Amino acid sequence: MDKQGGAHRASAERVLNAVNDSRLLYQQGLGMIASENIISPMVRRAVNSDLHGRYAEGLPGKRYYQGCLEFDTIEAEGIALAQDVFNAPFVNIQSTSGTVSNMAALKALAKPGDQITAVSTADGGHISHARMGAVGVRDLNLATYPWDENRMEPDVDASVKLIREVKPKVALIGQSVFLFPTPLQEMADAAHEVGATVMYDGAHVLGLIAGGVFQDPLREGADVMTGSSHKTFPGPQGGFVIASSEDPAVHRRLNNAVFPGVCSSYHLHHVAGKAVALAEFKAFGQAYARDTVRNAQAFASALAAEGFDVLAEERGYTASHQVLTRHGPLDSGAGAKAAQTLEHAGIITNMNMLPGDTKALSPSGLRLGVQELTRVGFTPDEMTDVARLYARALLHGEDTAVVKRDVAALKMEHQQVHYCFDDGDNDAYPGQPR
């Protein structure tokens, strides 16, 4: 190999080494970012397949390429499973992410210049709900709901009033910071009064919804629900577009908004992985969703007992997979500092704006998620142990290297994926092939 080839191989090796280091980080540490999860061995088999390089534009039986007969079987099976899991007459499983799902839904439901209502990013709305994201890409006019900081949800009466005043084309409901079910019915009723379509972004809580432990948006007034396939729904990265309508015209509009609207190739290996994850969720999803919420509630209570400022105490802290903690004054950067300290201790979290914060890069809080720890078998009692590790790192000033050793010892007891089919080698954090 010439010098140039050797240098390029060295670059590739550095990438693979970094990939392995990332695996070790999560194998030995506590992954507690609320938007992440791990996949099962059977899902990994589907994702790590020849499908990763293939195309199948269109729908089963109506393709623009040859060689799609087998993928037709995969996608048709996935659609049927998704309709069952989400109890919906329409599901599109092609979307490559939750944000892409939102882009597709907004393309189908609104025209540039139309009015939309949503939760502001300062109050926990996702960036795709804002002018900086999908709402801006679609060039929609945005009005944000008044927010109830004590209840960590839209102020229902004020939001209903807003909807009736601005008469949006789409009333978008749902958040990125999502502790409690949204009081959806009253807002949906007001939206329908003014001719709006109700769109529910369930990206974070989709697995909890499907598992029957959060709320049921399609029965509470939502016309369209979008979501991610890799948060509390424990599949590969991707998204869903779901609708309650039986109308074939609505189905065509939503399908066309995904392809060709926002996707060309839609990552066939991930579609196959979603189909496997849907089958596993049908078998194990209710238990997984139930245990995720139990762990979050136990963790929140344990953090409060350790002395942390955990939001929404009067409501029991959380009814989802998420827990919010405040670590200093508004806009102080205390959340960023806490996240960095925890990373040194082997605990991976993310800083997050809390109500009243205005600076995304120097917020006062953390957003914590327990769905990955639940997936590898953590119990409510062990969430108390996790809270104690947080306190040692953040409240007691203990050497983070010492805390990190204890984090690794705890995590090494949890190296298998739960709530999935037995597929032989059930390693949650497998080594990378070389």
Dihedrals phi, psi of 227, to nearest 5 degrees: -175, 165
**Cα dist. 360→127, 344, 365 in Å?**
11, 22, 10
The residue type of 411 is K
Q: What is the pTM of this model?
A: 0.95
Q: What is the DSSP string of 71-98?
A: HHHHHHHHHHHHHHHTT-SEEE---SSH
Other CB atoms within 10 Å distance of the CB of residue 192: 15
Cα–Cα nearest to 54, from 71, 42, 39? 71
Q: What per-residue confidence (pLDDT) applies to 432?
A: 57
Structure tokens at 258: 């995904």
Q: What per-residue confidence (pLDDT) applies to 61?
A: 95
Tell the residue number behind the tokens 């949006």, with chain if given: 168
Q: What per-residue confidence (pLDDT) applies to 433?
A: 47
Q: For the segment 350-408, what is each residue's pLDDT rounded down to a tens digit?
A: 999 998 899 989 999 999 999 999 999 999 999 999 999 999 999 999 999 999 999 99
**Cα dist. 265→32, 126, 203, 241, 367 in Å?**
31, 25, 21, 17, 33
Residues 6+ apart with CB under 8 A from 231: 34, 35, 36, 37, 98, 203, 204, 205, 206, 207, 321, 369, 371
Q: What per-residue confidence (pLDDT) applies to 3?
A: 67
For 192, the enclosing helix (H) or strand (E) is helix 184-193
Which domains are seen in the chain, by residue range?
43-280 (3.40.640.10), 286-411 (3.90.1150.10)
User: Rounded mean pLDDT of 102-126?
Assistant: 94
Q: At 25, is the pLDDT very low, low, confident or very high (cuts 50, 70, 90)? A: very high
Q: For the segment 224-266, what is each residue's pLDDT rounded down to a tens digit?
A: 999 999 999 999 999 999 999 999 999 999 999 999 999 998 9
What is the share, in percent, of the chain residues with pLDDT greater than 70?
Answer: 98
Q: What is the mean pLDDT of the chain?
A: 95
Q: What per-residue confidence (pLDDT) applies to 422?
A: 87
Dihedrals phi, psi of 292, to nearest 5 degrees: -60, -45
Pairing of strands 365-369, 350-352: antiparallel
